Amino acid sequence: MRDPLKFWNKLAKRYAATPVRDEAAYREKLRRTRKYLSADSHLLEAGCGTGSTALAHAPHVSHVEATDFSPNMIEIAERKRAAAGIVNVAFRTAWWDELSGEYDAVLALNLFHVLPHPDAAVAHLASLVKPGGVLVTSTTCVADNSVIARKLAPVFAMIGVFPPISVFGRDTYLGWLEAAGLEPVESWHPGRMAAWFDIARRPGAA
């Protein structure tokens, strides 16, 4: 895959039209996340895609800043926000390493495994979590999947069917969270080939 931005921009329309693969698991992730949100929470989402999750959490928080490096994804997200009349979500185009600030919750859902430097991205996004706040992630640990999945991922990426996938295992991923100063509070694996859902907290007073 030559250019990840080109890949995601091209995919945006189709991504918006594709139903969530496992609706029950998606609902469960929203429910688990909400336990850590309150009416005065400030939430940041990196790699928000076409914005469904940011819009779903909006009624439960004070403000959501939802970002993605793909202008096409953000354009669709913004259209959905306007149509729903939701006023406390701001969608904007940004690469993960351009993000700054301090948040009660930072979301990175299905993001780290599509980045070339997932360890740096974990460290950076974790640094934006306030003491007492949480990093909420959904991450595919491809190194733990079957050999076939591991071998096919780069082939699909080369022909442009998949984005390039970074290959790392669960232990490595948990090590990055720990190195970033976060403590795991919840982990959930909805299925053998599914992404791991993790909530990790920065120690300290909320």
Ligand X SMILES: C[S@@+](CC[C@H](N)C(=O)[O-])C[C@H]1O[C@@H](n2cnc3c(N)ncnc32)[C@H](O)[C@@H]1O
Query: With binding defined as CB under 6 A, does residue 104 bind ligand X?
Result: no
Q: What are the distances in angstroms from CA 123 to CA 10, 98, 103, 128, 178?
A: 29, 13, 15, 9, 10
Query: Strand ranges (DSSP E) for 11-75?
Result: 42-46, 63-68
Query: With binding defined as CB under 6 A, does residue 118 bind ligand X?
Result: no
Instruction: Choose the stretch contacting ligand X; rule: CB under 6 A; options: 35-43, 63-71, 80-88, 174-182.
Output: 63-71
Please, which of residues 120-179 interact with ligand X by CB under 6 A? none
Query: With binding defined as CB under 6 A, does residue 91 bind ligand X?
Result: no
Query: With binding defined as CB under 6 A, does residue 44 bind ligand X?
Result: no
Phi, psi of 163 (to 5 degrees): -75, 165
36, 91, 96, 112: which one contacts ligand X (CB under 6 A)? 96
Q: Are 111 and 121 a contacting pair, CB within 8 Å?
A: yes
**Helix/strand/coil percentages in the chain, nearest 5:** 45, 20, 35
Q: Is 55 or 109 the residue whose CB approaches ligand X more closely?
A: 109
Query: With binding defined as CB under 6 A, does residue 112 bind ligand X?
Result: no
Instruction: Choose the stretch contacting ligand X; rule: CB under 6 A; options: 65-73, 81-89, 151-159, 196-204.
Output: 65-73
Query: Strand ranges (DSSP E) for 16-160?
Result: 42-46, 63-68, 89-93, 103-109, 129-139
Could you tell me which of 29, 85, 72, 74 has the C-alpha nearest to residue 53? Answer: 29
Q: Is 5 or 87 the residue whose CB approaches ligand X more closely?
A: 5
Q: Are 112 and 200 a contacting pair, CB within 8 Å?
A: no
Q: By beta-carbon distance, which residue lies closest to ligand X?
A: 49
Query: With binding defined as CB under 6 A, does residue 109 bind ligand X?
Result: yes
* 53: its two tokens: 């999750």
37, 61, 105, 111: which one contacts ligand X (CB under 6 A)? 111
Query: With binding defined as CB under 6 A, does residue 36 bind ligand X?
Result: no
Could you tell me which of 67, 37, 62 has the C-alpha nearest to residue 134? Answer: 37
Instruction: Choose the stretch contacting ligand X; rule: CB under 6 A; options: 30-38, 109-117, 127-135, 180-188.
Output: 109-117
Helix, strand or coil for residue 185? strand
How many residues touch ligand X under the rule CB under 6 A: the total is 17
Query: With binding defined as CB under 6 A, does residue 47 bind ligand X?
Result: yes
Q: What residue ranges bind ligand X (CB under 6 A)? A: 4, 8, 46-49, 68-70, 73, 95-96, 109-111, 114-115
